[in-house]
Homo-oligomer: A and B are copies of this chain.
Amino acid sequence: MINVSEAQWSVGRWQEEIEIRLAGDDAEGPLVNIRANDSREFDAIFLGGGAAGRFGAAYLRAMGGRPLIVDRWPFLGGSCPHHACVPHHVFSDVAAQLMLERTFSGRLWFQNLRGRIVSIKEIVEMFREGRTGPHAFMNFQSKEQLDLEFVLGTEARILDAHSASVAGITFGAKNLVLATGARPKTLSIPGRDLAGVFDYASLVDTLDYEPGPTAVVIGGGKTAIEYGCFFNATGRRTLIVSRHKPLPMVNDGETRAFLLERMQEQGMEFLPGAALATLEGDQRGRVQAAVIRTLEGEIRVETDFLFLAQGLHPNSEEARATLGVAVDSDDFIRVDSRLRTSIPNVYAVGDVIGPPMEMFKARKGGMYAARNIMGEEAHYRLGDYPDFMHTHYEVCWLGLGEEDARERYRNVVVLKLPPENPDGHRVALPAGDRMMLYAMMKPELTGFQKLVVDGDSRRVVGAFHVGYGAKDGFQYLAPMVRNGLSVDELGEMDELFLNPSYFIQLCRLRAGSRILRGM
């Protein structure tokens, strides 16, 4: 056990200590930051220091309370920087970069990547080395700026609703906050234990060979598509096997079609209405083929690289067994709008309470739990939220798609780029940052954007963007849309041209007319 509470550790120092422990050397034991001279009872023990636990503890501390975080990993931040959001963004950035380099291979200064397979192993190893920097920063920030107390690098065992055992010591608190997260679902078919079968966590932790020329992805949701695009961009044949049509979460048909067409142009293959039947292994115990069941019968695909993205299973077992917290049919812990479980003084936040498995929900859940723990009556209502994913592009959306809007409103007006025109997508708009070379040399790849408006009230009811650089904007646009943003108000804003989303200027071009028209 190392007591770190006495001195300030630099980010670099934290990084060294984390790397030692992640390499399997925990000789020095957990990293403990507890103020020795503070005898106050903890207001809450946060079991798990990921997004939900860390933000919840920070908020509770900011309110004047005393939280303790315990995490089995030697760093705060949880799966996001270690397994999830951060590697996903690294790989999506790689996919965008490789699509650019492949598109312009041999032109201007671009090298020729045509036909060349890029190493996945090297990229994964680059991430595996690089991730400890963000880990270290989380520890630094949590200790030096957020004044958080924590025990890292050891499992906590829940004793009851007010105590947990950590590294042989019993810690008591007024409340427990379960922030134990979730893990990828596993297979239940023959061959499931073969090497070469990965999920987003095991990929970055364990990949130790260079995958062959074919990647098979099981799933059709965000994770499946995001990793599939990465595998595709490295130059591998990539097959997306999904029970349902892919991209169900992108709730606008035209946007979804644009995305699928672009992915297919990049060579991705989709097998919807299909499921993995069995996996065949080679003599070394590594997968060598996947047998896939489709409506037309079984097909066999030779591959040494299978990626599973079939959703998440909550880490709720211990809390169920020890505390008896109520769970839903998928084992996610049930909470009310104050983040309270069925057991008094036990809260739950983050992925362990179920979807959406998004950062903002985890962090805000932690914050609302903290407010309730500190005596407020604070209800977290999820409401409409903006959303995003990556293909080779960034994709953002909020509100209603065109189809749903037409169900709801009699006079739906659509403003989009490119608009309907005889050249289709072969026009260089929407151009914008990170899109300019496409705009000049390959205009059909410059993306797509669409604003869905209730023509009668002139209010924006949905927005969709395929391209780059709109993600930040959607965060701020979302509450405005919830508050009734009109095309007239949008048209009065000041665009920063060439802006990735052209919504402001498109609205302005139409706002002069009392009868709103699409374009």
Contacts and interface: CB of A to CB of B under 8 A. Distances in A.
Interface stretch (A160-168, A190-198, A261-269, A362-370): A362-370
A308 interface: no
Given A471-B433, A505-B363, A63 B512 contact: yes
A422 interface: yes
Copies in the complex: 2
A62 B435 CA distance: 30
Indicate the member of A360, A433, A439 with the most B CB atoms within 10 Å: A433
Given A433-B89, A468-B469, A477-B476, A422 B497 contact: no
B90 A137 contact: no
A342 to B, nearest CB: 26
A475 B475 contact: no
Contact of A90 (B85, B436, B480): B436
B495 A475 contact: yes
A145 B497 CA distance: 21
A476 B471 CA distance: 12
A103 interface: no
A42 to B, nearest CB: 16
A261 B509 CA distance: 41
Interface in A119-170: 119, 122-123, 126-127, 129-131, 133-134, 136-137, 140-141, 144-146
Nearest to A428: B133
Interface stretch (A6-14, A242-250, A285-293): A6-14
A213 interface: no
Given A58-B512, A118-B108, A496-B387, A10 B423 contact: yes
A499 interface: yes
Nearest to A480: B476
Given A111-B111, A363-B508, A519-B145, A12 B131 contact: no
B137 A429 contact: yes
A426 B136 CA distance: 12
A97 to B, nearest CB: 7
Provide the main secondary structure of the chain A interface. helix
A328 interface: no
Interface in A409-437: 418-419, 421-423, 426-429, 431-437
B512 A496 contact: no
Contacts of A367: 491, 508, 512
B85 A126 contact: no
Nearest to A142: B509
B126 A440 contact: yes
Contact of A421 (B11, B94, B433, B493): B11
Contact of A11 (B11, B12, B426): B426
A427 to B, nearest CB: 5
Given A90-B436, A131-B440, A440-B127, A62 B495 contact: no
Given A109-B118, A428-B134, A477-B476, A496 B471 contact: yes
A437 B94 contact: yes
Contacts of A473: 472-473, 475-476
A359 B497 contact: yes
Given A477-B476, A497-B359, A394 B93 contact: no
B498 A475 contact: no
Interface string A248-280: 000000000000000000000000000000000
A85 B493 CA distance: 19
A203 interface: no
A474 interface: yes
Nearest to A137: B427
Given A98-B109, A141-B419, A512-B62, A493 B474 contact: no
A74 interface: no
Given A423-B11, A428-B130, A436-B90, A386 B494 contact: yes
11 contacts: A62-B510, A109-B116, A130-B428, A133-B427, A137-B427, A358-B494, A394-B433, A471-B499, A472-B473, A472-B496, A475-B499
Given A360-B495, A360-B496, A364-B494, 10 more contacts: A59-B509, A60-B512, A62-B513, A86-B498, A93-B435, A94-B437, A109-B113, A364-B492, A471-B499, A474-B496
